Amino acid sequence: MSAQPVKAHAEQIILNADDVTGIVIRAGLIFGRGGTGLVTGLIAAAAQSGASTYIADGANTWHPVHVDDLADLYVRAIERPVAGIFNAAGTVPFSFKDLADAIGDLTGTPSVSVPFDVAETRMGTFARTLTSTSRLLATKARSTYDWQPDARSLIDDVRNGSYVAPMRTA
């Protein structure tokens, strides 16, 4: 295998297959129904450490996609297959500071900024991911599949929806 990342290599295999309609769906951060490793991990970390953290000013934004909207896109793609790469992103962005505030409310912990250099020392290159702004556009998925994700908010879901705070241990 080449030095190409595994995911990109797998996409090329699918897109170049002669016997199937190659469809690649690239989802942004998936949320809802109490799941997604990033959000549940941040909730658990806040409950364990006693603080809900964000990096630097936390103003960077992402456009997450609700799991039900993503499932709807998959069904549409299976029912009317069109070869290509399609992004799946929701319509309601969030900032990481707002996410930390919501997680803080959920876990009863303060929301605290961590300087980038400290975050990078603790998390390595993942700190760069958590300070990036998502530029993922789902225009092609919307027009090809007449897909319209509902206006669902990750922040609302954390505050009032499907996520729960783990029990704190002494």
Asked whether the beta carbons of 127 and 103 are under 8 A apart, the reply is no
Give the residue extent of every domain in the chain: 6-157
| Main-chain dihedrals φ then ψ at residue 94, nearest 5 degrees | -140, 155
pLDDT digits (tens, 9 = 90+) for 73-114: 999 999 999 999 999 999 999 999 999 999 999 999 999 999
pLDDT digits (tens, 9 = 90+) for 21-78: 789 999 999 999 988 899 999 999 999 999 999 999 999 999 999 999 999 999 999 9
Tell me the whole-structure pTM to 2 decimals.
0.87
Asked whether the beta carbons of 38 and 2 are under 8 A apart, the reply is no
Q: Which two tokens stand for residue 45?
A: 């970390």
Classify each residue of 32-44 as buried b or exposed e, where b means 16 or more C-beta atoms within 10 Å of its C-beta.
beeebebbeebbe
CA–CA dist 26, 122 (Å, integer):
28
User: At the fourth CATH level, which superfamily is domain 6-157?
Assistant: NAD(P)-binding Rossmann-like Domain (3.40.50.720)
CA–CA dist 87, 68 (Å, integer):
15
